[in-house]
Amino acid sequence: MNILEQKIRAAVAQKRTALIPFLTAGFPDRSSFWPTCMELDENGADIIEIGIPFSDPVADGPVVEQASRQALSEGVNLRDTLDELRQRRGLFKAGIVLMGYANPFLQYGYTRLAQDAAAGGVHGLIVPDLPYEESGPLCEALHKADIVLIPLVGPNTDTARMRLYAKGEGYVYVVSVMGVTGARDRLPVQVVETMKRARSVFSQPLALGFGLRDPTQLAAIPVEARPDAVVFGSALLSHLGEGGTATEFMSRWR
Amino acid sequence: MENSYFGEFGGCFVPELLMPPLLEVEAAMREILPTEDFQRKLHDLLHNYAGRETPLTYCPALSSELGFDLWLKREDLLHTGAHKINNTLGQALLAKYMGKTALVAETGAGQHGVATAAAAARLGMDCTVYMGAEDVERQAANVQRMRLLGAHVQAVESGTRTLKDAINEALRVWITCQATTHYCFGTAAGPHPFPTLVRIFQSVIGRETRTQMLERAGRLPHAVVACVGGGSNAIGMFHAFLEDKDVRLIGVEAAGTGESGCFNSAPLNLGTPGVLHGSYSMLLQTEDGQVEPSHSISAGLDYPGVGPEHAWLQKTGRVHYGLVKDANALAAFQRLCRCEGILPALESSHALAWVLDHPQEFTAGDQVVVNLSGRGDKDMDIVNKALGTPREALS
């Protein structure tokens, strides 16, 4: 079983929802990024998603876009991030996933990316602008390095399209809203239907993301439609941006 | 999804949440677009509302100066002032058949925004136009036009606050409103099927030109020249001539101010392959794959990417893509005003400038067609700033 799936299954076995914080590389600033990752790791993160900044993040709302822009202005890039991961290999208990747009990965070269990501202890990749139709070449390169490509599905992904992604490993990222990343006060009602449909198609664990702000949002979802894991990005970035700590943020969710 | 590539270029690099609406557009292209009913309505709109067919104008003064025959395809005479309306009427009508009640669009200079707003008003649809905040400031007249036509204009503050960011925002918004709304994409770029859809609606330019040349000159042109930003007027002009191997096709990119390393809008000549706004094409980008800001004196060419079919036509060698600097475009603008009494858009002035700057490429008796994609009234502020207010106008 893929290690990301193992991490989530282990949490579920402990009767808890696995926690997947998202942090843009170089945020809140270059020097405190890695200590913040360690803090997330020590405070209950089952998987950490590291965002690779991109100039044109079409799936992201203002909080992640701003973090991305700030990181780019400080010179954060994929090469350095992979290099820094390699130096920290073995330090994280959590699974490590890179989330970034297709073009920086493409320019780096898929084969080289797969090799360097494996050397950095990366277990999975999420590429929000790489739908099934365009995912073949990257999937192939990652497969050789034993890294999985995590698919995203959403409220408008019908059963037939979900099936296209069903062969994958790791987990499935279920987008809760018809929209971009960013914390919302409440989740839309159709999240229940989306989760049930995903559950009927996928054998991989389901991680719910986009729009999550605090754990009470999950309580509103009927048990049979609850996710195995939750991803929170914008809410964490905002909390850190306002001077809060990762420890405080994680304590709300544990 | 059908074949979404032109050679190695194109594709559909979008979030999964945009796949269903793109597949819906693809299905409409297959099932609605070819129907007699749709074609009849589109023909009526193009001919009796937008002003097709547009004239092919012979330029006696410039031809005499140049020593070969110069013709202009007059897309500048269309309603709203440019070729953009060919596409917006087509897409708006298609959206209406698809049961959509609203359009979203991006705009840079505002021409596509105005053309979308007009099409939406004509067909009774809501319209929201996303425009970079910097463009909103520098293209105030077009913002006013869009608002008069009933469109909501949303200033986009993110990123470089220009066209590129307006497209990002329109794509984001389309995710949320896809059930009721069609994204009326403005150029032959973006994710599949937009490069093909926009080309289909713009191809009327080349079809008319081909027929007009055969009637007027008794032969096909030796060369056809068009400016390339995203590339919709150029692909619309070139497409009918692709199989005519003796017709030289020349696309013209904006070189910006022209000093080495300056900002430009010439990804085909100065960029590298990459993914932006849903397609793999030529792109102005850093080694790390971050998209670089573009520049051109012509706002309609000011874009770091280009339609994927152009990248392919460059690679196959069927189309040659040249470069023209801001200053040369301005000179061509003035020369057409004075010689032929036509005030061209700065975009189209780039295409004309390439011909004026390369007379050695042609010989006596050659027939050269330039696509005059738009009129220059919208550019008065920019031209006055660059050249100074014409003295006569002050007296």
Chain B interface includes A22 (CB < 8 A): no
Length of chain A counted residue by residue: 254
**Average pLDDT taken over every residue of chain A:** 96
CA distance A39 to A128: 26
Nearest residue, CB atoms, A58 vs list B168, B178, B274: B168
Q: Are A253 and A44 in contact (CB under 8 A)?
A: yes
Q: Which tokens in the block code for residue B334?
A: 């003035």
Question: Looking at chain B, which residue has its C-alpha nearest residue A173?
Answer: B16
Q: Is the residue at A155 inside a domain?
A: yes
- Residue A49 known to be catalytic: yes
Chain B interface includes A134 (CB < 8 A): yes
Across the interface, do B13 and A175 touch by the CB < 8 Å criterion?
A: no
Chain B contacts in chain A segment 174-213 (CB below 8 A): 175, 178-180
Give residue B391's pLDDT: 63
What is the edge-to-edge ordering of all strands in the sheet holding B319-324?
Answer: B56-58, B69-74, B367-372, B223-227, B248-254, B319-324
- Residue A158 known to be catalytic: no
Length of chain B counted residue by residue: 395
Across the interface, do B15 and A58 touch by the CB < 8 Å criterion?
A: yes
Phi and psi at residue B19, to the nearest 5°? -65, -45
Residues of A within 8 A of B26 (CB-CB) are none
For an interface test with B, which of A73, A110, A134 has the most B Cβ atoms less than 10 Å from its Cβ? A134
Q: Which tokens in the block code for residue B132?
A: 């970079």
pLDDT band at A145 (very low <50, low <70, confident <90, very high): very high
- Judged against a pLDDT cut of 90, whether residue A114 lies above it is answered with yes
Packing angle between helix B140-148 and helix B111-123, nearest 10 degrees? 10
Shortest CA gap A152–chain B (Å): 7
Residues pairing with B103 in the sheet:
B127, B182
Phi and psi at residue B309, to the nearest 5°? -65, -35
Residues pairing with B370 in the sheet:
B72, B225
* Number of separate domains in chain A: 1
Domain extent for A88: 3-249
Q: Is the residue at A92 inside a domain?
A: yes
CATH number at residue A244: 3.20.20.70
Chain A interface includes B305 (CB < 8 A): no
Question: Looking at chain A, which residue has its C-alpha nearest residue B287?
Answer: A107
Nearest residue, CB atoms, A106 vs list B171, B274, B291: B274
Across the interface, do A77 and B15 touch by the CB < 8 Å criterion?
A: no
Q: Is the residue at A254 inside a domain?
A: no
Chain B contacts in chain A segment 93-122 (CB below 8 A): 101-108
Chain A contacts in chain B segment 260-299 (CB below 8 A): 274-278, 280, 283, 285, 287-291
Shortest CA gap B2–chain A (Å): 10
A189-243 pLDDT, tens per residue?
899 999 999 999 999 999 999 888 888 888 889 999 999 999 999 999 999 999 9
Shortest CA gap B327–chain A (Å): 30
End-to-end CA distance of chain A: 25
Nearest residue, CB atoms, B175 vs list A103, A133, A178: A178
For an interface test with A, which of B2, B13, B106, B174 has the most A Cβ atoms less than 10 Å from its Cβ? B13
Q: Per-block average pLDDT, block size 10, for chain B (395 residues)?
A: 93 98 98 98 98 98 98 98 98 98 95 98 98 90 96 94 94 97 98 98 98 98 98 98 98 93 92 98 98 92 96 98 98 98 98 98 98 95 85 53
Q: Which of B59, B127, B184, B227 is catalytic?
A: B59
- Please choose, from the candidates B202, B196, B338, B354, the residue with its C-alpha nearest in 3D space to the C-alpha of residue B278: B196
Q: In a 3-state reduction of DSSP, which class is residue B166?
A: helix
Give residue B92's pLDDT: 98
Give residue A253's pLDDT: 87
